[in-house]
Structure 1
Amino acid sequence: MTSFFFLLSGCMECCLKCLGGIPYPSLIATILLYAGVALFCGCGHEALSGTVTILQNYFEVIRGPGDGLDVFTIIDIIKYVIYGIASAFFVYGILLMVEGFFTSGAIKDLYGDFKITTCGRCVSAWFIMLTYIFMLAWLGVTAFTSLPVFMYFNIWTICQNTTVLEGASLCLDPRQFGVVPIGEEKTVCAGSEKFYKMCESNELDMTFHLFVCALAGAGAAVIAMGNNNQGVALFK
């Protein structure tokens, strides 16, 4: 019985030592980073698909012939960029977590400060610098994502106030946003059948809220990268 208690005590001590070596700020920031990037990529991809549906069904915008650069080609390019972002940040999040673990204070106490070489410090500084660069890039992504949120918010607000706008000659023109060339008129005006169908459809409401979720995910990724750098610095 005594040996069992000694064994249990040794296991608990080992577990506590392992738990003490986990860089919790870096762990939380990595989880938040994954959640933010996943929210941005998943919701952004579906919101772009919803945008294509709205343009085709209600504004009657068609895909241009050949390999011309139209709005649908741009949306396809952005989707492929989202695939790349998801893959890159999956790997980058693992690297940040590993770097945060090996620079934690518990690892230094276990192996001693003399084990931390100049090369290790340079690698750590490089990760911090790279994370700040990515954070600035994600600030740009967040600002870019706010544009469709603002556009859809205006459309969604107009649809929610259709009774107030009864008799008003208010039209939605995709040419204002560069979606279609200036020479093509694809307007949808309040009071028309297409306008009411678009407002009553699930595509508009779903696409708007998906863009809002994508914006929230981009903001969460920015916060996660900032906290990850602070967590690594705190544990050094």
Structure 2
Amino acid sequence: MGWVDCCPRGVPFASVVATVLCFSGVALFCGCGHEALTGTERLIETYFSKNYQDYEYLMHVINAFQYMIYGIAAFFFLYGALLLAEGFYTTTAIRHIFGDFKTTIFGKGLTATVTGSPAKGRGSRAHQRVHSLERLCHCIGKWLGHPDKFVGVTYAVTLLWILLFACSAVPVYIYFSTWTTCNSIAFPSKTTASISTLCADARMYGVLPWNAFPGKVCGSNLLSICKTSEFQMTFHLFVAAFVGAAATLISLLTFMIAATHNFAVLKVMGRSDSTKF
């Protein structure tokens, strides 16, 4: 058996799917979230307040979130790659324990750092190939650390992401409420209230201070805002960012379950205390 035969056996399919979902979700969240915040800034300064001092603090908050998005993208690119490598590494170790790699050079080389015993190659060329794999595995092992640490770090990252996921739902709720109000204005038969009393008040959500003027838009003026492509695009971008956050959360939960399973198996087999992954 060669690389082609043994590679599918060592692929951690759950980690691969979670990695693709993680990268896609983070890209969707960061890209759409950044543009949605920019669109919100333009809507506020165009329609809800003419005084820069009223929304100066909001602009600083938006800029801070946009810089944070850059950090989130960089962090998850690196951490997702490490989690995928950890998935490959521990899956290979587990399948070696259960005998899946007994006859493959790939398995022998990759699990040399797990079992603590050198792999036996056939001939000098096989020995060189195995030795190269061992060196690669040792190098990766220095970066991956123990699987229990990955479980703990992933658990902490998941908790923080749940908080961020909840925060991403807030602008979706605000824009959805505004869109619902616009529908009531467009179809007066659906409500008994006067059209002029139907408003979108940015101050009510804490977006602007209460002394901001006008701070709210009502009636036909609000309907005209909702019909603009800028409002609709910003609304859909926030929805896409929310979906991306949900996809990332699912990927983190998948990573955590897979890492916990791998660590539990290695611990039961008595490998976790003496093995560095």
Letter in 1 for 2:83: L
Structure-2 residue corresponding to 1:46: 35
Distance 1:56 1:219 in 2: 30
Q: Which among 197, 200, 204 is matched to residue 224 of structure 2?
A: 197
Q: Choose from 159, 176, 185 the match for 1:136.
A: 159
* Seq. identity, %: 35
> CA offset at residue 70 of structure 1?
0.9
Within the candidate set 184, 196, 208, 1:161 is matched to: 184
Alignment match, 1:181? 209
Residue identity in the other structure for 1:136: L
- Aligned-residue offset at 1:170: 1.8
Aligned-residue CA RMSD (Å): 2.7
Tell me the residue number matched to 2:269. none
Structure 1 residue 56: deviation in Å? 1.6
CA distance in 2, matches of 1:130, 1:122: 11
After superposition, what is the alpha-carbon deviation per residue over 1:123-167, rounded to whole angstroms, capped at 9, x for unaligned? Answer: 211011100111111111111111111110010111123231663
Flag the 1:120–1:87 CA change in 2: closer, same or farther, 3 A: closer
TM-score (norm 1): 0.84
Determine whether 1:170 maps to 2:198. Answer: yes
Matching of residue 210 in structure 1 with residue 250 in structure 2: no
- Which of 89, 108, 123 is matched with 2:76 structurally? 89
Q: Which amino acid aligns with 2:16?
A: L
- Residue pair 2:82, 2:144 contacting (<8 A) in 1 also: no
Give the direction of change, closer, same or farther, for the CA distance of 1:72–1:115 in structure 2 (3 Å limit). same
Q: State the shift of 1:181 in Å.
A: 2.0
Q: CA deviation at 1:107?
A: 5.2
Residues 21 and 107 in structure 1, CA contact (< 8 A), matched pair in contact too: no
TM-score by length of 2: 0.72
Q: Which has the higher contact order (CA 8 A, sep 6+)?
A: 1
**Greater gyration radius:** 2
* Separation (CA, whole Å) in 2 of partners of 1:25 and 1:188: 49
Task: Provide structure 1 residue ranges, at least 5 long, that are not aligned to the other structure.
Answer: 1-9
